[in-house]
Amino acid sequence: MNMEVRGEYREEASHALRRTSRELRKTVAMVEDLEGVVSHAMAGGARAEQMVELQKLDHILQKILGVADFIDALCGLMSPLWTVDAKGASRCVLLAELGAKLGDPQAPSETEPNPEAETYELF
């Protein structure tokens, strides 16, 4: 059953999910940078309980990579007939640049994450 809804942008679900996986992997690079900064700041004066807390960053990295790997595996199993409106769904993402990347199939596919190119919304 292939239902089309007029007025919506449709694309293969696997394409939208691969973009999602790519953004998760970029986030991993950002957390790795943060992990390095925190490690450096704690060098020489970290207590054992602080080191345990620092290991949570590594656990976060592993979880994000696990989710990205899972999404990539799902993409390989999906029918090209399964379509989604990623542009419509991306409207719920509060970070505007991230929402645009997730919802736009024409978003550039960077091979290396470039955190300096990202803009951040500070609160």
pLDDT of residue 53: 78
pLDDT of residue 77: 95
Q: What is the mean pLDDT of each run of 10 residues along the chain (123 residues)?
A: 62 95 94 85 74 85 96 96 94 90 78 49 47
Classify burial at 25, counting beta carbons within 10 Å of its beta carbon; exposed 0-12, middle 13-18, buried 19 or more. middle
Cα–Cα dist 104/89, whole Å = 11
pLDDT of residue 41: 77
Cα–Cα dist 90/76, whole Å = 22
pLDDT of residue 64: 96
Cα–Cα dist 13/119, whole Å = 27
pLDDT of residue 39: 78
Instruction: Please give the C-alpha separations between residue 60 and each of 13, 14, 31, 50, 93, in angstroms, as whole numbers.
Output: 26, 24, 8, 16, 21
Contact of 79 with 12, CB cutoff 8 Å: no
Beta bridge partner(s), residue 84? 11
pLDDT of residue 122: 47
